[in-house]
Amino acid sequence: FEAPYPPYDPTDKSGFSYDTVIKRWPIILTSVIDHLHRVNHDLFVQAQRTSIKDDSQDAKIKEAQEIIGKVSALKYHMARDHALEPIAEDGEPLVDTYNSELAQLGKSAKNTWFTAPWLYAECYLYRLIRSYFAQTKHWNTYDPFLHQKQETFKKSGEAIYHLATTMHEFEVERDLIQSDPEKLGVLFREMCQMCLWGNATDLSLLTHMSHEDIQRLQSVGKDAQSARKEFILKDDSEALWNHIASLKNERVDFVLDNAGFELVTDLIFADFLVTYTPYVSKVIFHPKLIPWFVSDVMPPDFSSTITSLLDPSFFPPPPSGASTKPEEFKQNLESMVMRWQKYISDGTFELSVPSDTKIGEGNAKADFWTSPYPYWNMKERAPELWEGLIGSGLVIFKGDLNYRKLTGDIRWPASTAFATAIGPLAGSFPILSLRTNKADVVVGVDQDIADRLDKSGEKWRVNGKFALVSFLARR
C-alpha cells in the first residue's frame, strides 16, 4: 500500500519528530546510561565487600560498561546526524527486517538521524538498544526501563484505589446494571473513556512531567472525565457501543500499550466487558517482547502488575475518601484483582504468548508489534497474527504509537477518513483505537477544527491533552 503523502520526519523542524531527536531521545538514552552506572556501581561495591573473587561478577560489570559505551556513542552519533548503523546479528527476530529497510532508506539518503522517517527511526532505536543487551551474557534479559515503570506505577495508587472502588460499586449493583441496557450503555462509555485517558501517562513522554502533573492526568473521577470530554476530537463511541451490543459471547483483543496505570485501566475495561455485558466472554492481551518505547507492557510486566496490586506494601497507604475508609479501598482493590486472577486461571483473560516468554525470545504472534511496519502490512508480514485477529469481535489498539502505526505516521490531512488512513487493514476486523494525541498525525477530525487548533498555537497534536476514539466495523 502506497500512501499518497510522505511520512513525518525531522526534516520539518516544526514537527514533534524534530523535537524528539533533539531532546526526547537524548534524555531517554541518558536515563539508560545513568541507570546502568548506578546498577554497576552497586555491583562493584558488592564485589569489593566479598573476599572471594567472583569472575562472573567482574564479567557482568565489564559487560555493563560496554553497553554504557555503546549507548553513549549512539547519543553522540545521533546529535551529529550520522547514519543509522545496521543492527548486529544478535540471534533475535527482525534484524534483517530493520537492516533491509535501512538499506532502502540509504538509497534515498534518508538513513540519518535527522532525515529518517520518524516511525522507522524510533522503532529502530528500541530494537538497537535491545541488541546491545541481547549480545551480552549477563544482561541478556535485562529491562533497562523496568525501574522507571515501577516507580511511576507506585505513584498511581490513589487513582487505582478509586477505580477499584467504582468497580466495587458496580458489583453491588450488578443485577440492576445487567438488567438495564441503557444504564449499561452509559457505563460502557464511561469505562471506555477511563481506558482512553489511561493512555495519557506514558513514560517516553513524561521526560518533563512532575508527580503532580501525573496525578492530574490520572484523575479518573466522573467530573474529571466530563471536563475532559470536549478534548475528545473524534468520538465514535456510539457506533462502538452499537457494535459491542451486536456481539454474542465474543472475543475482544487488546493490543496493549503501556505498563502500570494504563495496563490497569485496560484490565478494568476488559473486566467490565466480561463481567457486566453478555456480549464479550474472552479477552486476549497482546504484549511486546522487547523493552519498547520505555513503558510498553512485556509479559513480565503483565504478571508483576497483578502481584504488585496484591502486595499490600506496594502502594503508599490508601487515602480516606469522604465515604470510603482506607481498609475499604484495600478490600475493593483486592477483590477486583482476585477476580482478574480467576479470569486468568480459567482462560477468560489470556496473554497472546506464554506468560513465561522471556525478553527477546520472539514469537510469530507478537514480533510484528516491534517491527517498524505500519499495520496495513499485517496480512503479508505477520499472517499468523492476522489470521488470529480476524476471528476477533473487536481489536482495541491502545495508545499513540499504535495509532501512528495504524495510520502509517503519514502526513494525512486531518479530515482524512480513518478508514482511508489505515489502508488495506480497513474491514479486516473491527478496529477501535483509543489514543491521546502525542504525535503529529491526526485523521478523522473536521478540517476547520484542526486548522483552528493549528493556528491557535496550542500543541494539540502532541501535548497529550486531546484524544481520539476511532472505530471502524468489519465491512
Binding site for ligand F6P (CB under 6 A): 16, 122, 199, 202, 204-205, 257-258, 293, 399-401, 404, 438-439, 462
**101 or 296: CB nearest Mg ion:** 296
Closest CA to 94 of 383, 362, 409: 362
367 contacts Mg ion (rule: CB under 5 A)? no
In sequence order, the 6+-apart residues with CB closer than 8 A to the CB of 404 are: 119, 439, 441
**360 or 399: CB nearest ligand F6P:** 399
Residue holding cell 547519543?
Answer: 75
258 contacts Mg ion (rule: CB under 5 A)? yes
**188 or 293: CB nearest ligand F6P:** 293
Minimum separation from the CB atom of position 353 to ligand F6P (A) = 20
The item of ligand F6P, Mg ion, none sharing an interface with residue 438, based on CB under 5 to 8 Å by kind, is ligand F6P
**31 or 341: CB nearest Mg ion:** 31
Minimum separation from the CB atom of position 258 to Mg ion (A) = 4
Stretch that binds Mg ion, among 180-188, 285-293, 308-316, 460-468 (CB under 5 A): 285-293
Minimum separation from the CB atom of position 399 to Mg ion (A) = 5
The item of Mg ion, ligand F6P, none sharing an interface with residue 122, based on CB under 5 to 8 Å by kind, is ligand F6P
Phi (first) and psi of residue 239, to 5 degrees: -60, -35
Cβ-count burial 128-138 (b if 16+ within 10 Å, e if not): bbbbbbbbbeb
**337 or 414: CB nearest ligand F6P:** 414
**247 or 259: CB nearest ligand F6P:** 259
257 contacts Mg ion (rule: CB under 5 A)? yes
Amino acid at 363: N
Stretch that binds Mg ion, among 95-103, 224-232, 254-262, 412-420 (CB under 5 A): 254-262
**204 or 275: CB nearest Mg ion:** 204
In sequence order, the 6+-apart residues with CB closer than 8 A to the CB of 371 are: 94, 97, 98, 123, 381, 382
296 contacts Mg ion (rule: CB under 5 A)? yes
DSSP state of 296: B
In the structure grid, which three cell numbers stand for residue 450, read together? 484542526
Stretch that binds Mg ion, among 47-55, 122-130, 256-264, 444-452 (CB under 5 A): 256-264
Minimum separation from the CB atom of position 401 to Mg ion (A) = 5
**244 or 439: CB nearest ligand F6P:** 439
In sequence order, the 6+-apart residues with CB closer than 8 A to the CB of 452 are: none
Task: Tell me how far CA of residue 316 lies from CA of 87, 161, 162, in angstroms.
Answer: 42, 11, 14
Say how far residue 2 (Cα) sits from the centre of its chain: 26
Name the CA dihedral angle for 76, 78, 82, 84, rounded to a multiple of 10 degrees.
120
Minimum separation from the CB atom of position 398 to ligand F6P (A) = 7
The item of ligand F6P, Mg ion, none sharing an interface with residue 199, based on CB under 5 to 8 Å by kind, is ligand F6P
DSSP state of 84: P
Cβ-count burial 254-276 (b if 16+ within 10 Å, e if not): bbbbbbbbbbbbbbbbbbbbbbb
Minimum separation from the CB atom of position 209 to ligand F6P (A) = 12
Minimum separation from the CB atom of position 400 to ligand F6P (A) = 3
**15 or 93: CB nearest ligand F6P:** 15
Task: Tell me how far CA of residue 96 lies from CA of 91, 101, 113, 372, in angstroms.
Answer: 10, 8, 20, 12
Minimum separation from the CB atom of position 205 to Mg ion (A) = 9
DSSP state of 199: G
Looking at 9, 101, 143, 202, which residue binds Mg ion (CB under 5 A)? 202
Q: Are 191 and 251 in contact (CB under 8 A)?
A: no
**74 or 255: CB nearest Mg ion:** 255
Beta strands per DSSP E along 162-296: 232-235, 250-255, 280-286
293 contacts Mg ion (rule: CB under 5 A)? yes
Residue holding cell 491526526?
Answer: 442
Minimum separation from the CB atom of position 377 to ligand F6P (A) = 18
In the structure grid, which three cell numbers stand for residue 208, read together? 518533563
The item of ligand F6P, Mg ion, none sharing an interface with residue 63, based on CB under 5 to 8 Å by kind, is none
Minimum separation from the CB atom of position 130 to ligand F6P (A) = 16
Stretch that binds Mg ion, among 197-205, 224-232, 381-389, 446-454 (CB under 5 A): 197-205
CA angle, 198 then 399 then 235, to 5°: 80
Where does this chain bind Mg ion (CB under 5 A)? Answer: 202, 257-258, 293, 296
